[in-house]
Structure 1
Amino acid sequence: MNKAEILQYLADKHIDFTKYEHAPIFSVEEGDKSDLPNHDKVIRNLFLCDAKKKNYYLISLFVHKQINLKELSVKIPSKRLSFAKQDAMEEMLGVKPGSVTPLAILNNTDKNILMIFDKELENQTIGMHPMENTATIFMKFADLYNLLLPHGNEIRIIDL
């Protein structure tokens, strides 16, 4: 799914969201400088793989929360984590760098990516890109979780 398709999908599923169009945002710093409301509730997303590149993980947490990959690898558990290559991201999630979003799990037809949400996101309204970094949508975490769950990827909520 692309941006237009995911927005239509959310509407078709009666998911309540608010959308803000903006210039492309490629980094946390650019997001902080934007006039996007509630930018502290926007999430960042890390597409990671293990040292043997056989397991893939999509991690979502609030934009300003720090994460230690060594500690995360113990919690998952997994061997040494690193950022996945761009071609794997585009093939498995259907998005470009700067546009990674938990919604992209819906493009993972092989269902071979473990989706990990930070526990802090629960009971929050969170912001994310809708497959492109030219817009941000805000929706309830519970709605996102319930939207992704039937797709079939394993989803974990852990304290990061």
Structure 2
Amino acid sequence: MPASQDELFAFLESLGIETTTVTHPPLYTVEESQALRGAIDGLHSKNLFLKDKKGALFLVVAEENAAIDLKRLHERIGASGRVSFGSAELMQSLLGVLPGSVTPFGVINDQPARLTVVLDEALATAGAVNFHPLVNTATTTIAAADLLAFLRATGHEPLLLSFSQAAASPDL
């Protein structure tokens, strides 16, 4: 059974991590979530559940406006060939979330760790960052340093990449 939202919050609390959560109507896309800007402070993200041709799994967590070139991303994350989106079934079995609810908090369910978390440096170095707490009817604000602590506590040492530099540099 995947962790519930309450179990996620209890785990965060056990780590001494403070969060704030706002409930809202279901949000499925970055565009829909942008309607909440101003009501929820901090950086927001887009989250991509990906797999490579050999079945390696990746969760790319990037600032919502980051340009991600899926045709060349494999070169930056160490994937075997180009990446594609993982199936909804695989996402649900591994992260315990449905499409539209993809979140780095889902790694609480990836035990032992099977996927690689690729985290945008813009998020890793921000003050506050925001993600769905396993459901897309809420947004949880967490300090970036605490997100890193959470990821590490679940056995997921993130691969830090700068997507903004990649977007500005044609040779990456």
TM-score, length-normalised on structure 2? 0.85
Q: Aligned match of 1:29 in 28, 31, 46?
A: 31
CA distance in 2, matches of 1:117, 1:57: 10
Q: Which runs of 5+ in 2 are unaligned?
A: 164-172
Identify the residue that residue 170 of structure 2 maps to in structure 1.
Answer: none
Asked whether the 8 Å contact 2:73–2:82 carries over to 1, the reply is no
4+ runs deviating over 3 angstroms: none
**What amino acid maps onto 1:45 in structure 2?**
N
In structure 1, distance between residues paired with 2:143 and 2:157: 20
CA contact (8 A) 1:21 1:136 kept: yes
Does the 8 Å CA contact 1:100/1:131 hold for their aligned counterparts? yes
Is this contact kept in 2: 1:32–1:39, CA < 8 A?
no
Letter in 1 for 2:134: M
Change (3 A) 1:13 1:150: closer
Letter in 1 for 2:109: N
Q: Tell me, what secondary structure is at the counterpart of 1:90?
A: helix
Alignment of 1:32-43 (within 5 A): 32-34=34-36, 37-38=39-40, 41-43=43-45
State the partner residue of 1:2. 4
2:138 and 2:67 map into 1 onto residues whose CA distance is 24
For residue 67 of structure 1, what is the aligned residue in structure 2?
68
Residue in structure 1 matched with residue 158 of structure 2 by the alignment: 155
In the other structure, the counterpart of 1:102 is 104
Is 1:56 paired with 2:81? no
AA matched with 2:141 = F
Percent identical: 31
Q: Work out whether residues 93 and 105 of structure 1, in 8 Å CA contact, stay in contact via their aligned partners in 2.
A: yes
Residues in 2 aligned to 1:9 and 1:112: alpha-carbon distance in whole angstroms: 20
Cα distance, 1:25 vs structure 2: 0.4
Q: Which runs of 5+ in 1 are unaligned?
A: none
The one of 114, 121, 130 equivalent to 1:119 is 121
RMSD across aligned positions (CA): 1.6
Answer whether contact 1:40 1:63 (CA < 8 A) is retained. no
Contact map agreement 1:113 1:154 (CA 8 A) in 2? no
Secondary structure at the counterpart of residue 64 of structure 1: coil
Partners of 1:3 and 1:34 lie apart in 2 by 21
Q: Give the counterpart of 1:145 among 144, 148, 159.
A: 148
Task: State whether residues 124 and 148 of structure 2, in contact with CA within 8 Å, keep that contact through their aligned partners in structure 1.
Answer: no
